[in-house]
Protein backbone atom coordinates (compact mmCIF):
# COMPACT_ATOMS: atom_id res chain seq x y z
CA UNK A 1 0.00 0.00 0.00
CA UNK A 2 1.24 3.48 -0.80
CA UNK A 3 0.70 6.39 1.58
CA UNK A 4 1.02 10.14 1.15
CA UNK A 5 2.25 12.41 3.94
CA UNK A 6 2.36 16.21 3.90
CA UNK A 7 4.05 17.78 6.91
CA UNK A 8 4.54 21.49 7.69
CA UNK A 9 7.33 22.90 9.84
CA UNK A 10 7.87 26.32 11.39
CA UNK A 11 11.49 26.66 10.25
CA UNK A 12 12.69 26.97 6.66
CA UNK A 13 15.27 24.18 6.89
CA UNK A 14 13.37 21.62 8.98
CA UNK A 15 11.74 19.88 6.00
CA UNK A 16 15.18 19.37 4.46
CA UNK A 17 16.54 17.95 7.75
CA UNK A 18 13.60 15.53 8.04
CA UNK A 19 14.01 14.52 4.39
CA UNK A 20 17.70 13.79 5.02
CA UNK A 21 16.76 11.61 8.00
CA UNK A 22 14.16 9.73 5.93
CA UNK A 23 16.76 9.31 3.16
CA UNK A 24 19.09 7.69 5.72
CA UNK A 25 16.28 5.33 6.75
CA UNK A 26 15.79 4.53 3.06
CA UNK A 27 19.48 3.61 2.72
CA UNK A 28 19.06 1.26 5.69
CA UNK A 29 16.05 -0.38 4.03
CA UNK A 30 13.63 0.83 6.73
CA UNK A 31 11.46 2.90 4.37
CA UNK A 32 10.84 3.06 0.62
CA UNK A 33 10.00 6.45 -0.84
CA UNK A 34 8.36 6.64 -4.25
CA UNK A 35 8.55 10.43 -4.40
CA UNK A 36 9.33 13.40 -2.19
CA UNK A 37 9.34 17.18 -2.48
CA UNK A 38 10.12 20.07 -0.20
CA UNK A 39 9.00 23.67 -0.25
CA UNK A 40 10.18 26.48 1.96
CA UNK A 41 9.53 30.18 2.24
CA UNK A 42 12.55 32.18 3.28
CA UNK A 43 12.33 35.02 5.76
CA UNK A 44 12.29 37.48 2.85
CA UNK A 45 9.23 35.69 1.38
CA UNK A 46 10.94 33.85 -1.50
CA UNK A 47 9.38 30.43 -2.24
CA UNK A 48 11.80 27.57 -2.92
CA UNK A 49 10.51 24.30 -4.39
CA UNK A 50 12.72 21.21 -4.39
CA UNK A 51 11.11 18.35 -6.31
CA UNK A 52 12.71 14.98 -6.61
CA UNK A 53 12.30 12.79 -9.65
CA UNK A 54 9.22 10.66 -9.20
CA UNK A 55 9.00 6.94 -9.86
CA UNK A 56 7.25 7.37 -13.23
CA UNK A 57 10.12 9.42 -14.62
CA UNK A 58 12.72 6.98 -13.25
CA UNK A 59 10.99 3.93 -14.72
CA UNK A 60 10.32 5.72 -18.00
CA UNK A 61 13.98 6.67 -18.36
CA UNK A 62 15.15 3.17 -17.50
CA UNK A 63 12.75 1.42 -19.87
CA UNK A 64 13.26 4.00 -22.62
CA UNK A 65 17.03 3.67 -22.34
CA UNK A 66 16.75 -0.11 -22.65
CA UNK A 67 14.49 0.14 -25.69
CA UNK A 68 16.81 2.74 -27.25
CA UNK A 69 19.78 0.43 -26.70
CA UNK A 70 17.93 -2.45 -28.36
CA UNK A 71 16.81 -0.39 -31.36
CA UNK A 72 20.06 1.45 -31.98
CA UNK A 73 22.45 -0.87 -30.18
CA UNK A 74 24.55 -1.92 -33.14
CA UNK A 75 25.02 1.41 -34.91
CA UNK A 76 24.79 4.07 -32.22
CA UNK A 77 24.39 2.53 -28.76
CA UNK A 78 25.10 5.68 -26.74
CA UNK A 79 22.80 7.84 -28.84
CA UNK A 80 20.09 5.16 -28.66
CA UNK A 81 20.31 4.96 -24.88
CA UNK A 82 20.28 8.76 -24.52
CA UNK A 83 17.35 9.30 -26.88
CA UNK A 84 15.42 6.38 -25.37
CA UNK A 85 16.03 7.58 -21.82
CA UNK A 86 14.89 11.11 -22.66
CA UNK A 87 11.78 9.85 -24.43
CA UNK A 88 11.02 7.42 -21.60
CA UNK A 89 11.48 10.10 -18.95
CA UNK A 90 9.11 12.37 -20.85
CA UNK A 91 6.50 9.65 -21.09
CA UNK A 92 7.02 8.74 -17.42
CA UNK A 93 6.51 12.35 -16.39
CA UNK A 94 3.11 12.36 -18.05
CA UNK A 95 1.98 9.28 -16.11
CA UNK A 96 1.79 11.43 -12.94
CA UNK A 97 2.76 8.60 -10.59
CA UNK A 98 4.31 11.01 -8.10
CA UNK A 99 3.25 14.09 -6.24
CA UNK A 100 0.97 16.51 -8.10
CA UNK A 101 3.23 19.49 -8.84
CA UNK A 102 0.32 21.93 -8.61
CA UNK A 103 -0.51 20.67 -5.09
CA UNK A 104 3.12 21.10 -3.98
CA UNK A 105 3.05 24.67 -5.28
CA UNK A 106 -0.37 25.34 -3.70
CA UNK A 107 0.83 24.27 -0.26
CA UNK A 108 4.01 26.29 -0.76
CA UNK A 109 1.98 29.39 -1.55
CA UNK A 110 0.22 28.98 1.81
CA UNK A 111 3.47 28.94 3.80
CA UNK A 112 4.37 31.97 5.84
CA UNK A 113 7.94 33.32 5.81
CA UNK A 114 10.22 30.97 7.71
CA UNK A 115 8.08 27.85 7.19
CA UNK A 116 8.71 24.69 5.17
CA UNK A 117 6.76 21.60 4.11
CA UNK A 118 7.74 18.06 3.23
CA UNK A 119 5.74 15.84 0.87
CA UNK A 120 6.38 12.10 0.76
CA UNK A 121 4.88 9.12 -0.99
CA UNK A 122 5.89 6.06 1.02
CA UNK A 123 5.26 2.59 -0.36
CA UNK A 124 6.59 0.61 2.56
CA UNK A 125 8.40 1.19 5.79
CA UNK A 126 9.00 0.47 9.44
CA UNK A 127 6.44 2.68 11.19
CA UNK A 128 8.39 2.76 14.47
CA UNK A 129 11.60 3.92 12.76
CA UNK A 130 9.77 6.58 10.73
CA UNK A 131 7.85 7.88 13.76
CA UNK A 132 11.07 8.04 15.80
CA UNK A 133 12.73 10.06 13.03
CA UNK A 134 9.76 12.41 12.66
CA UNK A 135 9.38 12.86 16.43
CA UNK A 136 12.70 14.75 16.51
CA UNK A 137 11.10 17.75 14.76
CA UNK A 138 7.89 19.44 15.87
CA UNK A 139 5.54 20.28 13.04
CA UNK A 140 2.01 19.92 11.77
CA UNK A 141 0.36 17.18 9.71
CA UNK A 142 -1.40 18.78 6.74
CA UNK A 143 -2.50 15.57 5.02
CA UNK A 144 -2.02 11.81 5.19
CA UNK A 145 -3.57 8.74 3.67
CA UNK A 146 -2.39 6.60 6.58
CA UNK A 147 -4.77 4.27 8.44
CA UNK A 148 -6.49 6.08 11.36
CA UNK A 149 -4.35 4.60 14.17
CA UNK A 150 -1.07 5.29 12.39
CA UNK A 151 -2.27 8.76 11.40
CA UNK A 152 -3.07 9.54 15.05
CA UNK A 153 0.38 8.29 16.13
CA UNK A 154 2.03 10.49 13.50
CA UNK A 155 0.08 13.53 14.65
CA UNK A 156 0.97 12.81 18.30
CA UNK A 157 4.64 12.32 17.37
CA UNK A 158 5.23 15.59 15.55
CA UNK A 159 2.56 17.83 17.14
CA UNK A 160 1.84 16.56 20.66
CA UNK A 161 -0.10 19.74 21.49
CA UNK A 162 -2.67 18.99 18.79
CA UNK A 163 -4.16 16.00 20.62
CA UNK A 164 -5.90 15.63 23.93
CA UNK A 165 -4.69 13.03 26.46
CA UNK A 166 -7.62 10.76 25.52
CA UNK A 167 -6.74 10.99 21.81
CA UNK A 168 -3.09 10.16 22.55
CA UNK A 169 -4.11 7.15 24.63
CA UNK A 170 -6.45 5.95 21.86
CA UNK A 171 -3.68 6.40 19.28
CA UNK A 172 -1.25 4.38 21.41
CA UNK A 173 -3.70 1.52 21.89
CA UNK A 174 -4.63 1.52 18.17
CA UNK A 175 -0.97 1.12 17.22
CA UNK A 176 -0.59 -2.13 19.13
List pLDDT tens digits, range 159-175: 877 655 445 555 555 54
Burial label for 166, CB within 10 Å (0-12, 13-18, 19+), is: exposed
pLDDT for residue 75 is more than 70? no
Mean of all residue pLDDT scores within the chain: 74
pLDDT in tens, 114-123: 999 998 888 8
| pLDDT confidence bin for 49, thresholds 50/70/90 | confident
The sign of the torsion formed by the CA atoms of 128, 99, 39, 115 equals negative
Q: Whose CA is closest to 125, among 168, 154, 98?
A: 154
| pLDDT confidence bin for 80, thresholds 50/70/90 | low
pLDDT for residue 126 is more than 90? no
pLDDT at 148: 87
> What are the residue ranges spanned by the domains of the chain?
3-54+98-175, 56-94
pLDDT at 76: 54
Amino acid sequence: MTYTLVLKYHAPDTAAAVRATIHDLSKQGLVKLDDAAMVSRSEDGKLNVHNEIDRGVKWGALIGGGIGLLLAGIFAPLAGVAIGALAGAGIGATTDMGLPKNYVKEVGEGLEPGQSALFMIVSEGNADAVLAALRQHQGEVLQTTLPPGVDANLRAAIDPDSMSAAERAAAQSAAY
